[in-house]
A and B are shown apart, each in its own frame.
Chain A
Amino acid sequence: MPDKLDKIIESKKLLLPILTEIQDRDGYISEDNVRQLSKKTKIPLSEIYGVATFYSFLTTKPEGRNIIHICNSPSCYVNGSLNIIEFIEKELGIKSGQTTEDKLFTLHIGSCIGCCDKAPAMLLNGEVHDKLTEKKIKGIIKKCRS
């Protein structure tokens, strides 16, 4: 019986969509998955890691249950994104690229997410939260924790 990885390979065919599917399913791309994938597809390990580490939405270590991508590009910056970022860092006790100990949050500070007219903005699990204020952040974090 073909296992789940076979099914993903079969339906997605190309390396990047395969990896994004694994990322969506597991929350990260594990070494085990990379090894199996390499064996099944005959794509060298190095090439798979090359792709898995190239894109900012793919990760090779486990992420938290809630993933924040907050923008620090110019439109958000001139609208106070730095203060909001500092506030989130303080509230969660983590820096960019880190995950909280309870595995509830991962924080990524990154590039523009195309919500510049409602700056500052962030994605929480792919969903837009904009015109961010400390109060809004508090509410969002509280909701995720409950």
Chain B
Amino acid sequence: MQILEKSGLEAWKKAKEMKPEKVISLLNKKGLAGRGGACFPAGTKWEFALNSESDKKYVICNADEGEPGTFKDKYIIINNPETLVEGILIACNTIGAKHAYIYLRREYRYLEKNLTKIIKKIIKKADTDIQIDIVLGAGAYICGEETAIIRSIEGRRGQPYYKPPFPAVEGLFGKPTIINNVETLANVPLAIIKDDWNPNLRLFSLSGNLKNPGIYEMPLGTSLKELIALGKPEKSIKAIYFGCAGGCIPFNQEWKIDPEFINSTGCMLGSCTMIAVDESQSIVDIVTIIAKFFEYESCGKCTPCREGSMRILSLLEKISLGYANMDDIKLLEELCCVIRDSSLCGLGQSSTMHILTALKNFREEFEEKCRLR
């Protein structure tokens, strides 16, 4: 696997000799896109922070991997922490930060000890005065969001706030800050040092109704058939969920896993999470479970998401218990669109994608429940 290759601080040494602008243009030329879900070019993000004048700057490594079905960052932290830490150091050095935080979700607390050891080792070897601290989350899905993570590290409620100002201009403690996902930062040293580094390889978290779930590294553009076959499904697969936030598609074998194509189906590839659901499962039940997740994880700051997620859940419970009629399905669809269009942050905006796509692709399962009345 490419992600398990090491740089052994070669990339750090090389980047230190280069002008920051050169490091950034190298990363952009190599095509390093953010792996947290938005696919934003990593170099460009760094450039904003580099150009912001300030006495202090920060780097945040987002290890708050909370999207259900996702465990690739954990895989990297366990299997290649050295390269991750080296990537953080390069990020700091490039934008001019002396301090970095790794925001590690509390559910992964058991990774803290070894990661602390590796940080110490790499900093010593790199002979730098950059400081890297681990901040443990306290259990909140919303803290994967850029502005919420900033609030949480500041010690406050992890609630998002309006952008601009963007973190690269005014972030942690009011200072320019870049926030990158674990997989992005771990790729930085490899992109810098390896001539044959492939920007299209992604870590797919495969789970659900599979005999061989796990992490698989494959290029974007792989067919669904090929990827899901790696997981060895035992029954016929009906749907693929891109986590809770990414929506669902029918398992169309010929479809290619390409972010733009997935977008065109009304879904989001996000962090390459794939939950395979077989024919024995009820989509209405899964939709209800996911709605519960969003109702629980809504941070409560804005009305459409806070109130809407509760309404959605009660409508879905009505449907799944068989008390609903066709008008309730229409109401559900309308409410989903309102929440999508009027919520403050990505959590609310994406929280109904799974319902809208389920209604598009598996509508008969909802209507069946209504007909049973």
Contacts and interface: CB of A to CB of B under 8 A. Distances in A.
Contacts of B66: 111-112
B109 interface: yes
Interface of A: 13-20, 47, 50-51, 54-58, 69, 72-75, 77-79, 110-119, 123, 126-128
A74 B74 CA distance: 19
Given A74-B289, A78-B281, A51 B156 contact: yes
A117 B157 contact: no
B213 interface: yes
Contacts of B299: 54
Interface in B129-186: 135-141, 152-159
A111 B296 CA distance: 9
B155 A16 contact: yes
B25 to A, nearest CB: 35
Given A51-B156, A111-B296, A111-B297, A75 B69 contact: yes
Interface size of B as a range: 35 or more
B161 to A, nearest CB: 15
A56 B140 CA distance: 6
Contacts of A18: 155
Contacts of B339: none
A74 B69 contact: yes
B317 interface: no
A16 B74 CA distance: 23
**A-B CB proximity, top 6 nearest:** A14-B155, A55-B138, A56-B139, A73-B68, A112-B68, A57-B139
Interface stretch (B91-99, B204-212, B323-331): B204-212
B71 A117 contact: yes
14 contacts: A47-B156, A50-B157, A51-B157, A57-B138, A73-B68, A74-B68, A74-B69, A78-B275, A78-B286, A79-B208, A112-B70, A113-B107, A117-B207, A127-B110
Interface in B4-51: none
Nearest to A71: B68
Interface string B56-94: 000000000111111100100000000000000000000
B70 A116 contact: yes
A13 to B, nearest CB: 8
Contacts of A117: 71, 205-207, 213-215
B293 interface: yes
Nearest to B297: A111
Nearest to A50: B157
Nearest to A57: B139
Given A51-B156, A56-B138, 16 more contacts: A14-B153, A54-B158, A54-B159, A55-B158, A56-B140, A58-B139, A73-B69, A74-B241, A75-B68, A75-B275, A78-B286, A79-B209, A112-B66, A112-B67, A114-B108, A123-B107
B128 to A, nearest CB: 24
Contacts of B336: none
A77 B281 CA distance: 10
B312 interface: no
A111 B297 CA distance: 8
Contacts of A114: 65, 70-71, 74, 105, 107-108
Nearest to B285: A77
Nearest to B65: A114
A16 B156 contact: yes
Specify which of A17, A57, A116 lies most central, judged by the most chain B CB atoms within 10 Å of its CB: A116
